[in-house]
Structure 1
C-alpha cells in the first residue's frame, strides 16, 4: 500500500499536509473519481473490511467499493498524510430501524482545530469533508443538514432527491465488532438492499449520477434525467463509459437485474 499510488488513482496533485484545504481536496478527488458500487456483493464475491484488500481492489484493479472499502481506504490515506482519524460505527436509517442499524455504515471523523466529518462511502453523500457543525449546508447540487439528536448522536440528513435519507453517528460508538458483523450480514442476508439491488454511483463536478439496476439517473441543481437501460450490452457500456468500471463478469448480473426491476416497478419497460 503506497500513498502516492492512491493519490495517482484519484488524480490528486496538490500539497501533502494535514490541513483543512488538503482534507477537502483529497475528499473531493476521491468522491469524483472512485465510484460507489456493490457489484462484488451482487456477484457473491466476499468483501472484507481489510484496508489492503480495499487498496488492491480500488487502487490496483481500479474498481469502486461500498462504505467499508471507500471510507476504509480514505481513512488510511488521510492518516498517511498525517491526519488524526476516528472510525465510527454509523447507522443508516436508524430513525426507522433503531440501534439494530448501528454498524451498517462506516463514518470518519477527522480532528483538526475542530472535528470534521469525512464520508466518501454514502453513495450520494459528501463531496467534501465538512466541519462537524449542526445545521444546513450545500453539498454540490444537494442541500443537506446535520442535526444533534441527543445522547451524543448526530444525524446526517441527505437531500430529499438522494438515495439513503439519513445516517446517525456517535463519537463514542466505534465498535469494530458491530462493523464487522454488519459487513458480513449486508452481503449475505436475503433481505439486504445490497443483495437485492445492483447500485453504482458517482459524483461528477456539479452532478451526481447513479445506476440502480436498470435505472440511470443524473441529478444536478436544476435538472433530473432518468433513462432506462435496455440491454446487457448497454449496461456494460454504462459501467465503463459513465463510471469508469471495466468488469466483464458483471454481464452475468443482467438477468437478476431485470428480474429485480420487474419486482420493484411491475413492468420491465416502466422505470
Structure 2
C-alpha cells in the first residue's frame, strides 16, 4: 500500500492539534516523534464499533482519513498505527510494522496469537530504534515512544515502561513491554506488568489485512463481543469496557460505574469520547 496521494499530513496534524516546536518546523527528530505520538493518542479515540458489529474496517489510507480524521469516530490498533505510520513516514521517519502477542491477563505468552500491531521507528541520526504504538487500548499502553533498549526504564507523559527479554523458542530475540502499575494508596508500591511481547521481524500491510479480518469477524474475538472505547486527556484516562465505565485520574484515583441503558451509552460516546455511533446500532450487550 502506497502512502502517496492518500494521506494529507497537514490535515492530520491539524486534527490532532500538533504544530511542532516552532512555526513551520517539522523535523524528523525525537521531539517530533514524541509530540506527534502523544497528540495522536489524545486527539483520536480508540474504539471497536466496526468490529463489534463484526465488520472489518478498511485499512486503506483514504478510508482511515475519512473515519479517524474527518469524522467523529476512532479506531483500533490496525487503524491507529497504520495512520500514524503514514504520518511518520511523511515526516521523514523510517517505519517498520511489527506484530505482538497481548499478554495482559495471561501467564503463558504462547496462549495468545500475534494480533496486535506496533511500530518500529527509525529516527535520522539516532542509532537507536524506537517502539511506537498509538493503538493499544489499555491504560498500560505507551503515551510516548520508548527506545528499544533492554532493561532501561522510561517515563513518558506520566507513565513508566521498560523492555525486558523473554525466553521463548525461536531464533529471534523476544521482548516484553512492561508497564509500571501503582498500588492502591499513597504508600503502596507498584509492580511491573507485561503488556505484550514481540520480536523485530518486519510485517507488511497485507499481513494485517488478514489479521484485521480475523479479529473483526471471528465470534470468539473479544472485539466482536463487547465495546472497547478509550479516550485520553492530560488529566485522565477514560475506558468503556462493555457496560463498565472506568475513569483513572492522573493522581491514580479510579472510579467505576455501570451503564444502564442504550441512551446513556450513546450520550456518553458523544459527550465524553467524541464518537458518533452509527444510527440504530445496539451498544450494550
Cα 1:99/1:53, change in 2 over 3 Å = farther
TM-score, length of structure 1 as denominator length? 0.85
Q: Is this contact kept in 1: 2:176–2:194, CA < 8 A?
A: no
Return the alpha-carbon distance in structure 1 between the equivalents of residues 78 and 231 of structure 2: 16
Return the alpha-carbon distance in structure 2 between the equivalents of residues 133 and 178 of structure 1: 27
State the 1:35 CA deviation: 0.6
Partner in structure 1 of residue 113 of structure 2: 101
Q: After alignment, is 172-181 or 190-199 more displaced?
A: 172-181
Partner in structure 1 of residue 82 of structure 2: 72
Partner in structure 2 of residue 146 of structure 1: 163
User: Aligned pairs, how many?
Assistant: 252
Partner in structure 1 of residue 254 of structure 2: 224
TM-score, length of structure 2 as denominator length? 0.81
Q: Secondary structure at the match of 1:122?
A: coil
Partner in structure 2 of residue 183 of structure 1: 212
Q: Is this contact kept in 1: 2:130–2:146, CA < 8 A?
A: yes
2:257 is aligned with 1:236 = no
Cα 1:101/1:202, change in 2 over 3 Å = same
Shift >6 Å, 4+ stretches:
none
Q: Is this contact kept in 2: 1:202–1:210, CA < 8 A?
A: yes
Residue of structure 2 aligned with 1:19, choices 19, 29, 38: 29
Return the alpha-carbon distance in structure 1 between the equivalents of residues 278 and 137 of structure 2: 23
State the 1:148 CA deviation: 1.8
Partner in structure 2 of residue 119 of structure 1: 133
1:190-240 per-residue CA deviation (whole Å, 9 max, x = no partner) reads 110001111100221132111112111111332001122222111111101
Q: Secondary structure at the match of 2:136?
A: coil
Return the alpha-carbon distance in structure 2 between the equivalents of residues 148 and 62 of structure 1: 39
Return the alpha-carbon distance in structure 1 between the equivalents of residues 227 and 216 of structure 2: 12
> What RMSD in Å do the two structures reach over aligned CA positions?
2.2
Which 5+ residue runs of structure 2 have no aligned equivalent?
Answer: 1-6, 183-192
State the 1:138 CA deviation: 3.2
Which 5+ residue runs of structure 1 have no aligned equivalent?
Answer: 259-271
